């Protein structure tokens, strides 16, 4: 399955596809959630929410 197909399935509501995308992007989301060397859990949660919103807005 290609990345685009995974995004399309996630946008259509396939929970497995959404989980796969979150797993794929988790290292980046965690990296961007570190502020002054400390993980900001609230920021991580906000980034995850924004990521999910972007999936919903994806237009192939």
- How large is the average pLDDT for residues 41-55? 96
Give the integer Cα–Cα distance in Å for 40 and 8: 30
Name the residue among 49, 58, 51 with its Cα closest to residue 6: 58
Span 28-53, mean pLDDT?
A: 97
Average pLDDT score, the chain: 95
Taking the CA atoms of residue 49, residue 30, residue 17 and residue 57 in that order, the dihedral angle to the nearest 10 degrees is: 40
| Predicted model pTM | 0.87
């Amino acid at each position: 399955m290609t990345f685009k197909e995974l995004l399309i399935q996630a946008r259509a509501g396939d929970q497995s596809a959404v989980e796969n995308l979150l797993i794929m992007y988790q290292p980046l989301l965690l990296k961007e959630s570190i502020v002054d060397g400390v993980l900001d859990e609230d920021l991580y949660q906000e980034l995850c929410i924004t990521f999910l919103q972007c999936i919903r807005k994806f237009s192939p």
